[in-house]
C-alpha cells in the first residue's frame, strides 16, 4: 500500500467551466501529519473532509490573500470542488465576503452528501458533477461573464478602467460588486491571478518576471508576499509543501 501523500485534480464537464475550475482530492494515508503551505490562487474551495471513521466535515474556504501554513492530519481524505468566483455566486448562491482568508463550516448533509461519498474519487466526481449540472443556471449576467473572461484572459493584467470600458460597467460598480460578493477589490483579485500565472513560469524554472512587473525586485517582492518565500525557494518546493506548485510541475 502506498503511504505517500497523494493529490489528483480533474477538469469539470465543459458546461461547468465558467463556474468550476477543478474537482480533486487530497489523501494523507500515513501516520504522520503533512505540512503544507496554502497560497492564494483565486479559487473558492468546497471541501469534504474525513479524518478517521467518525470525523466528517464540509467546509467552504473563501479567497486567500496571504500564504498560510496548515497541517493535513494523518489518515485524512479530502475531496474538493474548486470554484471560480461566479460559481460561488451562481451555484453556491452565497456571498463569500465574510470568509476572506477563513472558512465556513457547512451542515452535514449539504447537497445530501454524507461520509458514504468518501469511498472513492471516481464515484465522488460523477456524483458531484451531476449535482453541479443541476444547480448551474441556464443564463448568467453577461457583464459578469465578460468581466471574468477578460480578467482570466489577461492573467490579471488588465486594469479596472479598461475593464470598465469593455464591459460597460463603471469601475465604482465593479469594485462595489467585488467587495460585497468576494470581500476584496478587483485590483487585489487581479494581483492574485497574476501571481498564480507566475507560478506556472516558476514551475518551469523561470525565476525572472514573464508578466508585467515593474522590475525583478517587484517580482520577488510580490512572489514573497503571496507565497512567503522568494522565487528561488519556491521553485525548490522542499517536501512538496506548495501543493499548487507541485501540481503545475506534474503537468
Q: Using CA atoms, how far apart are residues 91 and 19, in angstroms rounded to an integer? A: 8
Q: Would you call 246 helix, strand, or coil by DSSP? A: helix
Q: Using CA atoms, how far apart are residues 34 and 77, in angstroms rounded to an integer? A: 12
Last residue of a domain, one of 106, 135, 164: 135
Q: Do 179 and 213 belong to one domain? A: yes
Cβ distance 169 to 147 under 8 Å?
yes
- Binned average pLDDT, 10 residues per bin, the chain of 251 residues: 80 96 94 93 96 87 96 93 98 97 94 84 94 96 96 92 95 96 96 92 82 82 94 91 79 62
Q: What is the pLDDT of residues 21-46, one digit of tens each?
A: 999 999 999 999 999 999 999 999 99
Q: Using CA atoms, how far apart are residues 62 and 83, in angstroms rounded to an integer? A: 10
Last residue of a domain, one of 119, 135, 151: 135
Last residue of a domain, one of 135, 164, 197: 135
Grid coordinates of 104: 465556513
Q: What is the pLDDT of residues 187-203, one digit of tens each?
A: 999 999 999 999 888 88
The reported pLDDT for the residue numbered 25 is 94
Contacts of 10 (CB under 8 A, 6+ apart): 22, 23, 24, 125
Secondary-structure percent of the chain, ordered helix, strand, coil, rounded to 5:
45, 20, 35
Residue 114 resides in a domain = yes
Number of domains composing the chain: 2
Q: Do 156 and 217 belong to one domain? A: yes
- Whole-structure pTM value: 0.92
Grid coordinates of 60: 467552504
Q: Using CA atoms, how far apart are residues 107 and 99, in angstroms rounded to an integer? A: 16
Q: Do 13 and 57 belong to one domain? A: yes
Residue 104 resides in a domain = yes
- Report the sign of the C-alpha dihedral through residues 11, 197, 43, 6, in that order: positive
Residue 1 resides in a domain = no
Report in angstroms the alpha-carbon separations of 249 from 5, 9, 83, 186, 219: 16, 13, 22, 28, 20
Q: Using CA atoms, how far apart are residues 234 and 161, in angstroms rounded to an integer? A: 33
Q: Do 102 and 211 belong to one domain? A: no
The secondary structure of 99-166 as a DSSP string is: GTTSEEEEPTTGGG--GGGGG-HHHHHHHHHHHHHHHS-S---HHHHHHHHHHHHTTT-S-HHHHHHH
The whole-angstrom distance between residue 159's C-alpha and the CA centroid of its chain comes to 22
Which range of residues forms the domain containing residue 186? 142-250
Q: Using CA atoms, how far apart are residues 84 and 43, in angstroms rounded to an integer? A: 5
Amino acid at each position: 500500500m502506498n503511504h505517500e501523500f497523494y493529490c489528483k485534480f480533474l477538469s469539470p464537464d465543459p458546461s461547468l467551466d465558467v463556474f468550476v475550475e477543478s474537482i480533486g482530492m487530497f489523501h494523507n494515508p500515513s501516520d504522520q501529519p503533512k505540512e503544507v503551505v496554502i497560497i492564494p490562487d483565486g479559487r473558492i474551495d468546497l471541501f469534504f473532509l474525513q479524518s478517521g471513521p467518525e470525523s466528517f466535515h464540509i467546509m467552504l474556504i473563501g479567497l486567500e490573500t496571504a500564504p498560510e501554513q496548515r497541517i493535513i492530519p494523518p489518515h485524512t481524505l479530502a475531496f474538493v470542488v474548486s470554484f471560480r468566483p461566479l460559481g460561488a455566486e451562481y451555484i453556491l448562491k452565497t456571498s463569500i465576503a465574510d470568509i476572506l482568508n477563513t472558512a465556513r463550516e457547512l451542515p452535514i448533509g449539504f447537497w445530501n452528501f454524507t461520509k458514504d461519498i468518501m469511498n472513492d474519487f471516481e464515484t465522488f466526481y460523477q456524483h458531484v458533477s451531476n449535482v453541479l449540472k443541476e444547480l448551474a443556471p441556464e443564463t448568467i449576467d453577461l457583464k459578469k461573464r465578460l468581466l471574468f473572461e477578460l480578467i482570466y484572459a489577461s492573467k490579471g493584467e488588465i486594469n479596472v478602467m479598461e475593464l470598465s470600458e469593455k464591459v460597460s460597467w463603471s469601475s465604482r460598480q465593479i469594485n462595489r460588486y467585488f467587495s460585497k460578493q468576494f470581500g476584496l477589490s478587483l485590483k487585489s483579485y487581479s494581483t492574485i491571478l497574476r501571481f498564480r500565472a507566475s507560478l506556472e513560469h516558476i514551475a518551469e524554472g523561470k525565476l525572472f518576471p514573464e508578466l508585467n512587473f515593474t522590475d525583478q525586485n517587484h517580482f520577488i517582492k510580490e512572489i514573497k508576499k503571496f507565497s512567503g518565500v522568494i522565487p528561488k525557494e519556491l521553485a525548490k518546493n522542499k517536501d512538496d509543501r506548495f501543493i499548487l506548485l507541485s501540481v503545475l510541475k506534474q503537468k
